[in-house]
Amino acid sequence: MERKYKILLGVAFAVCVILLIINIYIGGIAFIIFVALAMSVWIMEDSKRHPLLTASLRNEAKYIEIKNTGNASAFAIHIAIIPYDIEFDIPLLKEDENYLYAFGRMISEAKVKVSFENENKNRFTKTYLLSATGKSDDELLKPVFPLFKWKKEED
């Protein structure tokens, strides 16, 4: 955790203790605010510098677009398109960059497995079900970026 966040939480905790001595109810309210502030800093630190690769069909289902929507660069990207037996590697995708892979013909459905590393050499894997007919695994209520530690790839 950065030094400025530690100072902020220390000052907030000191104010909380002082208010708790003065009045227990105001101190309790300050403690609840302190816990919310601490959780916000913790979530912010946990979600910093994570790549997030997404796969989608483009241009009448003739292309697959791999896009980095995270807030860090993704390295050593390996893409496997199932059942078409297509595999390829992308060395680097920076933030908000995309890569198009052309099939040369339309595809109806595909399962895309995306494996990549972050700056700390942690390996992650995501699987996307793509369909030209409109069925997909997109969730409207899915968070924009993953929270609370990513699961590492199990070998």
Q: What is the pLDDT of residues 119-152, one digit of tens each?
A: 888 888 888 888 877 665 555 566 665 655 554 4
- Quote the DSSP letter at residue 48: T
Which residue would you say has higher pLDDT here, 132 or 67?
67
Which helix (H) or strand (E) segment holds residue 37: the answer is helix 24-46
Residue 153 — pLDDT band, cuts 50, 70, 90?
A: very low
pLDDT attached to residue 22: 92
Secondary structure tally for the chain: helices H, strands E: 2, 7
